Structures are given as C-alpha cells and as structure tokens.
Amino acid sequence: MIKLLVRRSGSRERNTLLSLLGMSESEYKQYWTSQIYRGEAQSEPITLPSNGMQKEALATYPGAIALVDAADVKPGMKVLKIDGHMPGEEHYPLH
C-alpha cells in the first residue's frame, strides 16, 4: 500500500503538487472527500507541516511517497523520474 505524504496548504511543495494535478486547494480537498465518500480511499493523504517531519514519515511508513525538493533528498530516499527525467536533467518538468 502506498501512503501519500503532502506538505501543508501554502507550502511550495503543496503548490507544486496542485500545479501538477491542475487543481486548486478547494478542488484538491473536494477530490479527497469524494474519494473517501465513495470508498475509493480510506483517508486523505497525511499532511505534514515541515520537510523534517515529512522525511521522518518517509522513513516510518513503508511505501510512503512525498514530493520533496531535490536538494532535500537524503541517503535511503528514492527519487522517481517524471516524464522519464530526473531532477536537474533537461526537460524535467518541475524546475
């Protein structure tokens, strides 16, 4: 099971996530409410206030995934390609 970890509303990481999803904050909340209501999700993603707490949660929850700044990647964390590109590569969509 994958556990999605997200930063709090207003954070740069949260704004990047919303931009990737093409959603406003209210659309994002409405999406998760409807997913739970229909039984397609048990809960909305875990919201954490800081990068440090997010890194701790990544180490705590097997299968956890989070959007973090490439500069904050620590040993043991895995980085996923987006559109076939790693952070720092040409055509990486999150600059």
Per run of 10 residues, the mean pLDDT along the chain (length 95 residues) is 90 90 95 96 92 88 87 83 87 77
Instruction: Report the DSSP pairing between strands 46-48 and 3-7.
Output: parallel
Q: What does pTM read for this prediction? A: 0.77
Positive or negative: CA dihedral 87, 88, 94, 95: positive
Q: Which residues contact 50 (CB under 8 A, 6 or more apart)?
A: 7
Spell out the residues 6+ positions from residue 12 whose beta carbon is closer than 8 angstroms to its own. 69
CA distance 38 to 49: 28
- Whole-number pLDDT of residue 95: 62
User: Element (H or E) spanning 6, and its range?
Assistant: strand 3-7
**pLDDT of 38-52, one tens digit each?**
999 989 999 999 988
